[in-house]
Amino acid sequence: QVQLQESGPGLVKPSEILALICTVSGGSIDSDYWSWIRQPPGKGLEWIASISYTGIPNHNPSLKSRVSIAVDRMKKQFFLYLTSVTAADTAVYYCARKFDIWGRGTLVTVPS
């Protein structure tokens, strides 16, 4: 059964780059599309970006200028990069296969 695990720093300084990794286990990354979603504390879900297994990305227009997404099929990992972070980027970040299988999420805090 496919499982996803997010990893990355729990604390990022303002104006720096947030980099997260999603590692896929128990299945192949050579199909479907892979997504990042976030949830600020006490708030709803926000789609950030998705990438096909062939590496074609799509981004939320509200974040597009700051977001990059990439995939490494050999390592069975995909990545999220968010530049120029502010306190508003504090959230639990989830990775997902399409939107059916989700990781447990990782909290990223950007102090104000």
Instruction: Check binding of 50 to other proteins (CB under 8 A).
Output: yes
Q: For other proteins, which stretch binds (CB under 8 A), given 15-23, 71-79, 83-91, 102-110?
A: 102-110
Residues in Cβ contact with 90 at an 8 Å cutoff, skipping those fewer than 6 apart: 40, 41, 108, 109, 110
Judged by CB under 8 A, which of 61, 74, 88, 112 binds other proteins? 61
How many CB atoms neighbour CB 105 within 10 A? 16
Q: Nearest distance from residue 91's CB to other proteins, in Å?
A: 13
Residue 103's alpha-carbon distances to 2, 21, 68, 109, in angstroms, are 10, 11, 19, 18
Instruction: Check binding of 42 to other proteins (CB under 8 A).
Output: no
Instruction: Check binding of 47 to other proteins (CB under 8 A).
Output: yes
